[in-house]
């Protein structure tokens, strides 16, 4: 299996935390990278990389950036919970521009989805890649929409895509929740590498978390298909983080954590069984 893609890779959101991780890791491998973000790139570019400032809302700019690229690693857009009008442009319209560019170039899309697309699942659940979407806010809703767009473009246009449901990608886990959801930067970089180089991916979901004992997301995802297995683990932080909880019953009940409690206005908790009414 080749260790360098035949065509350049377009990375959106390159100036963000994960964009910089990917740029550094793939650049060190000698890959040809086309980088873009609405913000300037804050570091020196690696050899073989170019950077262009662009807005995801600008479809023409995205088409031009994607010319000749074999894969689009799409990390761009609003990356936290924001009002709907803030999210809709980059995360929904912008994603459409990404997929139109991929369709034209016959390129693969590696989409930075999120655990917030399934955030209202109970933390005690063990869920598979085919679980129903339960977004915990407008950001999570945009990620669920993004995965559905990937399905549309795969079945209708043959655009391959990997939807990586990122857990908590930080240098280190910082609270008890992240003992389950943490994704180390090196694991993330290796995952992006495999998503690009895998011979075939179709339309699939990979849970983006390191090898954490508390993780309950692994069932039926496409880690094996893309050739990735996490190497790092949050387990070594358990002693210092096990008691680091918020005290907010909504935040601590659901997989999405603090995003679930933002603007939460129910008078009583939702039923544990989605179709039941025992707690109504």
- Here the tokens at position 258 are 């603090």
- Residue-level pLDDT at 278: 39
Alpha helix positions (H), the chain = 17-28, 59-66, 84-87, 94-105, 138-157, 178-181, 185-197, 223-226, 238-241, 249-253, 258-261
**CA distance linking residue 255 with residue 119, whole number of Å:** 5
Per residue in 127-165, pLDDT (tens digit) is 999 999 999 999 999 999 999 999 999 999 999 999 999
The domain ranges of the chain are 9-261
- Residue-level pLDDT at 275: 54
Q: Tell me, what DSSP letter sits at residue 93? A: I
Name the band, by pLDDT with cuts 50, 70 and 90, for residue 269: confident
CATH of region 9-261: 3.40.50.720
- Residue-level pLDDT at 274: 58
**pLDDT of 61 over the 80 cut:** yes
**pLDDT of 204 over the 60 cut:** yes
Kindly list the distances between the CA atom of residue 40 and the CA atoms of 36, 50, 74, 77, 154, in Å, as whole numbers in the listed order.
Answer: 9, 12, 17, 14, 32
Contact (Cβ atoms closer than 8 angstroms) between residue 224 and residue 201: no
Find the largest Cα–Cα distance for the chain.
60
Per residue in 115-125, pLDDT (tens digit) is 999 999 999 99
Q: Mean of the pLDDT values across residues 205-227?
A: 96
Q: What is the mean pLDDT of the chain?
A: 95
Phi, psi torsion values for 277, nearest 5 degrees:
-145, 25
Q: Mean of the pLDDT values across residues 242-270?
A: 94
**CA distance linking residue 171 with residue 183, whole number of Å:** 9
Name the band, by pLDDT with cuts 50, 70 and 90, for residue 205: very high
**pLDDT of 272 over the 90 cut:** no
**pLDDT of 276 over the 60 cut:** no
Hey, which residues are catalytic here? 139
Q: Mean of the pLDDT values across residues 274-279?
A: 46
Strand partners, 168: 182
Name the band, by pLDDT with cuts 50, 70 and 90, for residue 270: confident
| Vertex 204: Cα angle to 198 and 207 (nearest 5) | 95
Q: Mean of the pLDDT values across residues 13-23?
A: 98
Closest by Cα among 223, 196, 190 to 71:
196
- Here the tokens at position 183 are 């994704």
Contact (Cβ atoms closer than 8 angstroms) between residue 228 and residue 196: no
**pLDDT of 271 over the 90 cut:** no
Phi, psi torsion values for 34, nearest 5 degrees:
-105, 115
Share of the chain above pLDDT 90, in %: 93
pTM attached to this predicted model: 0.95
* Residue that is written with structure tokens 């008078």 in the block: 267
Q: Mean of the pLDDT values across residues 172-180?
A: 98
**CA distance linking residue 102 with residue 224, whole number of Å:** 24
Q: Mean of the pLDDT values across residues 169-180?
A: 98
Per residue in 94-104, pLDDT (tens digit) is 999 999 999 99
Within 10 A of 223 (CB to CB), how many other CB atoms are there? Answer: 18
* Residue that is written with structure tokens 């793939």 in the block: 26
Kindly list the distances between the CA atom of residue 119 and the CA atoms of 22, 95, 127, 134, 164, in Å, as whole numbers in the listed order.
Answer: 25, 21, 12, 6, 15
**pLDDT of 220 over the 80 cut:** yes
């Amino acid at each position: 299996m080749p260790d360098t893609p035949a065509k350049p890779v377009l990375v959106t959101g390159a100036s963000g935390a994960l964009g910089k991780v990917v740029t550094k890791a793939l650049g060190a491998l000698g890959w040809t990278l086309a980088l873009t973000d609405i913000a300037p790139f804050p570091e020196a570019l690696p050899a073989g990389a170019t950077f262009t400032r662009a807005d995801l809302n600008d479809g023409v700019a995205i088409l031009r950036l994607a010319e000749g690229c074999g894969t689009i690693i799409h990390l761009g857009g609003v990356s936290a919970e924001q009002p709907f009008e803030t999210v809709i442009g980059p995360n929904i319209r912008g994603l459409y521009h990404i997929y139109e560019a991929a369709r034209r170039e016959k390129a693969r899309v590696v989409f930075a989805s999120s655990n917030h697309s399934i955030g209202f699942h109970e933390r005690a659940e063990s869920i598979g890649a085919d679980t129903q979407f339960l977004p915990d806010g407008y950001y999570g809703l945009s990620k669920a929409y993004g995965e559905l767009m990937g399905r549309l473009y795969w079945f209708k246009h043959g655009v391959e895509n990997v939807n990586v449901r990122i857990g908590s990608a930080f240098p280190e886990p910082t609270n008890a929740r992240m003992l389950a959801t943490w994704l180390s930067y090196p694991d993330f970089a290796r995952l992006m590498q495999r998503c690009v180089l895998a011979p075939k991916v179709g339309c699939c979901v990979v849970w983006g978390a390191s090898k954490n004992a508390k993780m309950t997301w692994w069932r039926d995802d496409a880690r094996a298909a893309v050739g990735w297995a996490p190497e790092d683990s949050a387990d070594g932080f358990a002693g210092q983080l096990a008691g680091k909880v918020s005290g907010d019953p909504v935040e601590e009940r659901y997989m999405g954590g603090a995003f679930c409690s933002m603007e939460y206005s129910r008078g009583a908790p939702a039923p544990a069984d989605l179709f039941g009414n025992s707690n109504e």
